[in-house]
Amino acid sequence: MLLLLAVLLVAMISSGAVPNMAVEVLGACARLDLPVERVAPRPAAYDAFCQSHPGQCDMAGESVIELNVRILQALTKTNREVNAEIRFADDPEWQGNEEEWSYPVSGHGDCEDFALEKRRRLVAWGLPRASMSMAVVYHKAFMCPHALLLVETTAGTLALDNLDSAIHCWDKAPYNYESRERPDGQWDRFDQSLWQWFPR
């Protein structure tokens, strides 16, 4: 399957349909499977978003999608377009609140807003929401919190990041994973004793 997908993708890259950096996801890409310390409710700011946007947190549909060239192209295109269209702005600067999860407003948003917008567009394109989960991470070098959109596929767990226009396997992205949304709406909180830091 992956060999055929790689052949098709090379042809699409040659025609310019898919960026060359997208090839990485066709390598060895494991499913995200970290030790879970506990299962918890949604973070408060995300719960407030879900309450104000009924249906946008309904994790319906298949929780794993088959990765093919068409879906990879949609993921890559959406990741690049949202990253290019939205200007990063911290919540206190733009929203006036310390922490607020929302869709981008007037072309501005912070990391979780980028992730929510990518999921909204991919759901409109046809992907099941259950296959796309929000995740809270910490950068291994800068030791700061961040949010990503994770996509669960037959080729592994892919990370869509507002700091990178390429799509990476979750374990190739420079993050320690603090928590992740589950298909049932709860959140897995991972064992932090396994975290690694590479401060600059």
Q: How does pLDDT run across 86-109, given as a tens digit for each residue?
A: 999 875 565 555 678 999 988 999
Beta bridge partners of 149: 134, 160
CA distance 30 to 155: 7
Domain ranges for the chain, please list them: 29-194
Output the pLDDT for position 100: 86
CB 80 within 8 A of CB 172: no
Which pTM was predicted? Answer: 0.86
Fold adopted by 29-194: C8orf32 fold (3.10.620)
Output the pLDDT for position 95: 52
Output the pLDDT for position 188: 98
Four-CA torsion 181, 114, 156, 194, nearest 10 degrees: -60
- Residue 29 has phi, psi (to 5 degrees) of -135, 110
